[in-house]
Structure 1
Amino acid sequence: MQLDHATIVTADLDTARRFFVDVAGLTAGARPPFSIDGYWLYANGRPVIHLIDETVPAVAGRAAPRIDHVAFRLESADEWVALLRRLHAADMPYQLAEVPQMGPQQAELQLFVALAPGVVIEFVTALRTAHRG
């Protein structure tokens, strides 16, 4: 099993799209012609983030979805440095946290961006490949 996609409902579609494209490095791509405004954002040819306009009325009897955060893994130091450069260029604040090594699991570095109230995006890499920028 693997993660297919995450859907984020937001009142500011364009800001979210710009973050995921300009900072996170995803690509805006094809999206079915739904009656609801939104974007599909791609990584490695797959739509991994679906953005949906928050102005859509709630469906009776259905709980509003909630996402705490979405995490993207960066495998190389070059990817990590490029992300830091894009964050700095966008003047986007972030927080770092270390995940200590546990058994065979390598130590990791997490980077958190508060995209909007209630929406946090995490980027994670092996601590040995990370630069703290």
Structure 2
Amino acid sequence: MQLDHATIVTADLDSARRFFVDIAGLTDGARPPFSVDGYWLYASGRPVLHLIGAPASGAVGRITPRIDHIAFRLDSAGEWQALLERLDAHHIGYQTAQVPASAAQPAERQLFVALAQGVVIEFVTAARQTIQPES
């Protein structure tokens, strides 16, 4: 397993993008066709920072801007299945989602675990490597 990316939610999406591209040296790159505005910023050919646009006033209990979550990449179907088994064995709930395929990358599976209010951990893997969980 390796750290995959961090996500920042901000009401000032373009300023955040300019800072991370112009100052920090990340590059703009391809992003799947999500239903929310955002950017994927790349380092060494990998999308390591996801920026998501959000209104200035967040949902109840959520403050914007914020670092939304961190994500770990699982490289094999065995790692993914072992994660599902550990979550189930410890009675830890989770939600899954599909990252839409784009010209730049194939579809992927996501799994989100809420550790505490406002603390989210994501696990992501290639969609072809997963068995659909029953969450």
Query: TM-score, normalising length from structure 1?
Result: 0.50
Greater RCO (CA < 8 Å, at least 6 residues apart): 2
Name the structure with the higher strand share.
2
